[in-house]
Each structure stands twice: as structure tokens, then as C-alpha cells.
Structure 1
């Protein structure tokens, strides 16, 4: 009688084990974090060393030139990266089987609810605390340190709330998608990408060749963005040094950054320990303390890797250990990793409004709504890698026609190493809550109708292997 290897230990030829894949992702994430911190340190040292010399504007421009090239590269990539990422997220839904629509609807409904709560909380906190009230970015050089508000900012502030709200609809439905991409009108492009992908999956097998091409494009741009991020030490050092040299007061800049960090961390904590537990209690009647205890290993790994994608196998294991149905876990967690980013949405909304405040500008009600919408969509379309929220933040600034302030994003790199860890933990905790809530709803529905729950939608085998999911239980029903 032949002795066979246990099914869960069998790995396809030429593929890595789940532990090897996890280690590879973990160390790559850690390298990116340390690589970015190196650039931050170099920028602070260079800026502080030259600050007392008061270099000319030409010298400051030359110092900031490498960083300008980095920002241009990110601007070039952010549109296709977000479009293909959103399309890939929609394409993942095509693998759902018959009768599984309610699981998808419940998952998306909870994702949307938690992200909206996070964005509203972040916007409320940033307007209450006003971390940029000292206007540390208001001056472009030492000659105009006493300048108040730029002409562009005054023009934007004078727009009526009605016009701003009406412009949201106009941006969502552009007259020309190519012109919208060139403008750039990211709301229109994002809407078009989602609608196009949703329409494409209705064609079934006929659409598979095109879908595979678009998914490959997403993977290609992910590789390119990794290559660009590898250049961050030089770019971040350049931008950070030039920003310090342009600042009227280093002390004012540091105080503003400290308030900004406090605002973001306060938002993460309130969302994680107040809002998300409330959703667990109200929507599923689960004890938040028991849930968070079960998912602590995944949260700790997320803090270490700053990547919800690298942590996903651990999150799924925690969900199964808590008692959630494996088939629901294998759908809700991977989907949440790519869609549900509470921490990123809150972070981007706070960061953009902080930059606006730091320049002494004000936003109309309509513009605040644009920030909320774009921050949510940008968070959904961002990659599950360190600093991805900073990259997608460019989208929000461009949606507000604030392209000239994109270089200020580099200043946020100096503290993103800390915020990125807590942001990832918030994202993972949100995925955990979604998993528990959807599992509870599925059980209640089955009990109410007196039938076995439906089989849950699952990704195909090759995607399972790529995500580190055990496919040996593929035929298991809830």
C-alpha cells in the first residue's frame, strides 16, 4: 500500500511553500520600510545642516530635483495602477457561484460602512484639531514667509457649496474619458473603470482572455511601482531636505507634524476600539474582546510587515480558529485585503486636509465631500504594500486640482513608518470584523430558512496558491 503525503503538505512543482512565500513577502516589506527610513534620515540631516546657511532658491531647487523626478514617476503610474487594481477587484467577483450573491452583498456592504465611518471620523478630527493651523507650508521661500493665502487657494475657497456639489456629479460622469484621464479627473476615470469591469464580467467565458490581459497589466504595474519605490531614499531625502529649507520655521514644521501624527493615531484608535467594536455588537452581537483576542496574531504580524497582503494567511487562520466557517473566511478575508482599507481611507482624508491647512487654504463643503469620496476610492485602489497610501494620496490631491502640493507628500514620509504600521493593523482588524459579521449573518440566514448555507464563492486554484490559501478544502460547504 503506497504511502502518500498529506494533502495539505503537497505543493505544486516549482512553487514555494506557504511559509516560504510569507517569509519572502515579510522580508521584502521590511526592506522597503528600512529603505524609506534611510531616505528620511538623509533628508532631515541634509535639510538641518543647510538650514542655517539660507541657500538660494536655485540651490534649493537643485536639491529637490531628484525628488521632483520621483514624484513625476509616481504621478505617471498612479492612474493606471489604480484603474487596473480596481478592475482586478471587480474581476474577483466573477468566480462567485450560483446563489452566493447575498454573501458578496453583505461583504461589500460592511466594507463600505466601515470605510465611510473611518473617513467621516478622520475628517471630523482633522477639522477639530487643525494640525496644519500654523501654516508651515504656506511659504515657498524665505522672501514670502509672511504670505497668507495663495491666489489659487482664495479662488477655491470662494466657490459656492452648490457649485462644488454639482461638480462632483460632472466629474463622476465625464463627457470624454480620455480628456478626464488627461485633466486629470480621477473620479470619472475610477467610475469608468468600475463600470467597465462590471460590464465585462457579464460576458462570462467570452471575456476571459481580455480579463486575463487586464489582470496581467495590474501585475506589471505592481512590479513597476516596486521599482520606483526602491528609489525612495534619494527621492525622499531630496524632497524632505528641500521642504525643510523652504520652511519659515523648523519648529513650526515639527509641531505641525506632531499634531498631524496625533490626529491620525487618534483616528486609528477611536475607529479600532470604538467604531469597529460597535459594528460587531450591533450587527452580529459578538463580544469584541473575544474577537480581538483571536485575531491578535494577525494584527501583530501586520504591525511588523506593514502589509495586509503579507498578513492575509495569518488573518485567515485566526478567522478559522475563532470559529468562522472556512469557506466564508477564504472569501471575505482575501476580498477585504484588496477592498476593505479603513485605516488607509482615514489616513488619506486626514493627510490631504492637513496639507491644505498647512498652506493656509480652506475647503468648501463640496470639496470636503470630494475628499471623502476620493479617499475611499483611492484606498480601495491602493496596493497592499508599505507606503501605498502615500502613493494613492496623489489621486486625492489631483481630484481637488491641488497638483502643485503633491511634493508636500514627501514630508509625510518622515512619519509614515510609524503610521503605516498602525494603519495596517487597523485594516486587518477591519477585515477581521467583516469576517465575523458576514459569518454571523450567513448562519442566521441558514437557521431562519431551515436550510444549509450556500457554498461560498472562492477564487480559482491558481489565485489560491498565489495568496497562500489551502485549496484542499475547496469542496467544503458551510
Structure 2
């Protein structure tokens, strides 16, 4: 019998808690060693993940470059940034009421040090990886560069396999080690209480954002948003079960093509694209979680300026995030480190919460794609004699040149 990712994460969390409460000192030191080693390995891969997925995403846009592509990506980015801003505002107002004690995770009972210390420095820092990805990705689209374009896409595929075969499988172990340390320090129950409240806040904010998205899309497109939302419900539940926008994309595309006033050619272009570049639900989770974990581990809310910087960079990072469970969180670890100064413990807390709620975030991502489609259809769908006319593939190509 095979267990899904969430049961494995919960099992790892439970085992870690038991070790932290009842385990002897040598076992705690063992989990601290595991936390250190796995944390270093994960951090080593983060710049590679950012480079691979951002560069490959740009390279794959080569045959689609133009107004339609730029408009779709621009709307998706703007949507994500506004969603994160709303989430941040809610977090600053609500999270301090969770009765979080200053530094309650890190300023508690001292525990044994790891048996060994091993530093595995990344090949480059996060900003360097992002800038290099943009340069290489753009260079592969200038003129004909099939070898360079193929290389970055193949590298992305290799990194994706590393995520699926190594990083995702070790996450339950990493989280077990993190929570063993938290439990051993005596900060367990406060942390779990905060996590429960934060999860409720995240889900509520995601629902509110879907309502806002579809309301605005209806106003801009002058179409009934309930028709599109109802059509996207099968995609919502598929995404909830699979935790992958990429896996759900065929369902969302099928559903989009059933909407009477949506141009099918526009749907064929927009839905596969937004499945990869529109991740507002995941970004909201990361924003709320980052603010909460900063308060949980540092004892104070992060400066607003840092969160604004975090959100603006996060929107770019999420465009290239991999379509596997947890890909958004893994891609964001780098800016959590560089912008907010997160250490291994804070990253472990972020990953634990993100993975547990990933079903809700992915469902919000994919369902929100329908609202983006309504806006794009308003400006790029062809109308004739008051009825929606199916745009030919030649028309679409002329739009994108």
C-alpha cells in the first residue's frame, strides 16, 4: 500500500514529536545532525531549481513570444502580487493575535549539538541564479539557438527528476528532524497551535481571493463569472487531490473549452500557460507563512519593506515554479534565506505548513486560472455579429508575432 505525500509528512511530523518528547539525548543529537545535513543539501539545490525553471520557462516561450504571451504573464504576475499584498495585510493584522511568545521556538530549552557539522555551500546565491536564468533564457530566444534552448529545458527536466526522486522523498525525514528539535526544546504545543490557526487563515484568504478574482474578471469581461467558476469546479477538486497544477491542466483546459462565450483558441493558449505562471494561491500561503514564521522564530514581525521586496521577487520566482507538489515552496526557499534571513528551523516550519496545505493552494491556483482566461478572452477573443467567433490558429499566431 502506497501512502501519499501528506500522510508521509504527518507521519514524519508525529515521529519527530515522539522523539523530541521521549527520545534520549543521543537520539536528539542524531535528529539535529539529520536536520543540518538535509537542510544543507536542500539549500544546495535551491539556486539550481531557480535557474533551471526560470531559464527553461523563458526558453519555452520562444515560439509564443508576443502581445498575447506578454499580456497573459503580466496579468498573472499582477494578480499574484495583489493576492500576496492582501495576504500580507491580513497577516500583519491577525497573526499577532495568535498569542505568539517572542522567539518561542528558538529561545527555549537547550539541546545537544549535531554529531558532525558539514557545510555544503551552493554554487551561487539566489539573486545570481535568478539573473543568470533570465540572461540565459532570453539569450536562447534571440535568433535561432536550439542547442542552448534544448540544454536549459533538458537541465530543467533533470532538476525536476531530482525534486521528485530525492528532495520530495526526504522532506518527511527533514520535517521529522525539525519537529524533534522543536519538541525537545519545549516549544511544541505553542507552535502547533499557531500552525492550526494559520492554516485556517490561509484557507479563508484563498477563498476570499477567488471571490475577488472572479468578481473583477466579470466586471472587466462583462460576462457572468459564475458560469466560469462553475465550469472550473472539476479542476478545483482534481487539483485538490493531485496537488499539481501541471497534472490538473488537462482538466482545466477541457473545462475551459466548455464555456460558451470563451474563444476555444484563447483557452488552448491561456490555460496551459497559466497552469505554470499563475500561482496566486501558493504565493499567498508563502507570504502568510513567512510573516508568521518570522514572528515565531524571531519574536517580531518582519519590516514591511522586506515583505514588499519578498513579494515582488516571489512573483517572479513563482512564474518558473515546477508543477510538482511543493515546487513553489522549494523555489521560494532561496528568497526566504536571502531576504528574510531564514535558517534551517524556519525553513523546516515553512515546508511543513506549505506541504500540509498544498492541496488548497494548488486548487486555488488552478481555479483562479479561469478568471485570468475571462480577462484575456475580453481583449483577444474575436467577436462578430454579437456572437463569439472561433479565432483561427493563423489569427492567434498573428497576435503573438
* Residue 34 (1) aligns with residue 34 (2): no
Q: Which moved more, 1:70-79 or 1:362-371?
A: 362-371
Of 243, 249, 268 in structure 2, the residue corresponding to residue 312 of structure 1 is 249
Classify the secondary structure of the residue corresponding to 1:398. Answer: helix
- Note closer, same or farther for the CA distance 1:251–1:452 as it changes in structure 2 (3 Å cut): closer
* Contact 2:266–2:381 (8 Å) recurs in 1: no
Residue 140 of structure 1 corresponds to 106
Q: What are the superposed Cα offsets for residues 356-388 of structure 1, whole Å, 9 maximum, x if unpaired?
A: 111213433321222212322232232111122
Superposition RMSD on alpha carbons, in Å? Answer: 3.1
Write the mapping of 1:78-157 to structure 2, written as runs, cut at 5 A. 78-96=46-64, 101-130=66-95, 134-135=100-101, 137-140=103-106, 142-143=108-109
- Note closer, same or farther for the CA distance 1:181–1:135 as it changes in structure 2 (3 Å cut): farther
Of 364, 377, 381 in structure 2, the residue corresponding to residue 426 of structure 1 is 364
* Contact 2:265–2:391 (8 Å) recurs in 1: no
- Note closer, same or farther for the CA distance 1:127–1:331 as it changes in structure 2 (3 Å cut): same
* Contact 1:67–1:238 (8 Å) recurs in 2: yes
Q: 1:330, 1:427 → 2: CA distance?
A: 18
Classify the secondary structure of the residue corresponding to 1:423. Answer: helix
* Contact 1:180–1:189 (8 Å) recurs in 2: no
* Contact 1:243–1:411 (8 Å) recurs in 2: no
Of 344, 365, 369 in structure 1, the residue corresponding to residue 308 of structure 2 is 369
Write the mapping of 1:4-403 to structure 2, written as runs, cut at 5 A. 31-50=4-23, 60-96=28-64, 101-130=66-95, 134-135=100-101, 137-140=103-106, 142-143=108-109, 182=124, 184=125, 186-204=126-144, 207-228=145-166, 229-248=168-187, 250-273=188-211, 275-323=212-260, 324-358=262-296, 359-400=298-339, 402-403=341-342
Q: 1:279, 1:48 → 2: CA distance?
A: 50
* Contact 2:16–2:177 (8 Å) recurs in 1: yes
Pairwise CA distance, 1:452: 8.2
Residue 117 of structure 2 corresponds to none
Q: 1:193, 1:306 → 2: CA distance?
A: 26
* Contact 1:367–1:400 (8 Å) recurs in 2: yes
Classify the secondary structure of the residue corresponding to 2:13. Answer: helix
Pairwise CA distance, 1:418: 4.2
Structure 1: stretches of 5+ with no match in the other structure: 1-26, 146-178, 460-478
Q: 1:338, 1:242 → 2: CA distance?
A: 36
Pairwise CA distance, 1:137: 4.6
Which TM-score applies when normalising by structure 2? 0.85
Q: What are the superposed Cα offsets for residues 233-255 of structure 1, whole Å, 9 maximum, x if unpaired?
A: 3222111211222244x332222
Q: 1:86, 1:101 → 2: CA distance?
A: 18
Q: What are the superposed Cα offsets for residues 386-414 of structure 1, whole Å, 9 maximum, x if unpaired?
A: 1223322312212225142x322323454
* Contact 1:63–1:242 (8 Å) recurs in 2: yes
Q: 2:307, 2:394 → 1: CA distance?
A: 38
* Contact 1:442–1:453 (8 Å) recurs in 2: no
Pairwise CA distance, 1:295: 1.0
Which TM-score applies when normalising by structure 1? 0.73
Pairwise CA distance, 1:440: 2.5
Q: 2:323, 2:102 → 1: CA distance?
A: 31
Q: 2:143, 2:81 → 1: CA distance?
A: 32
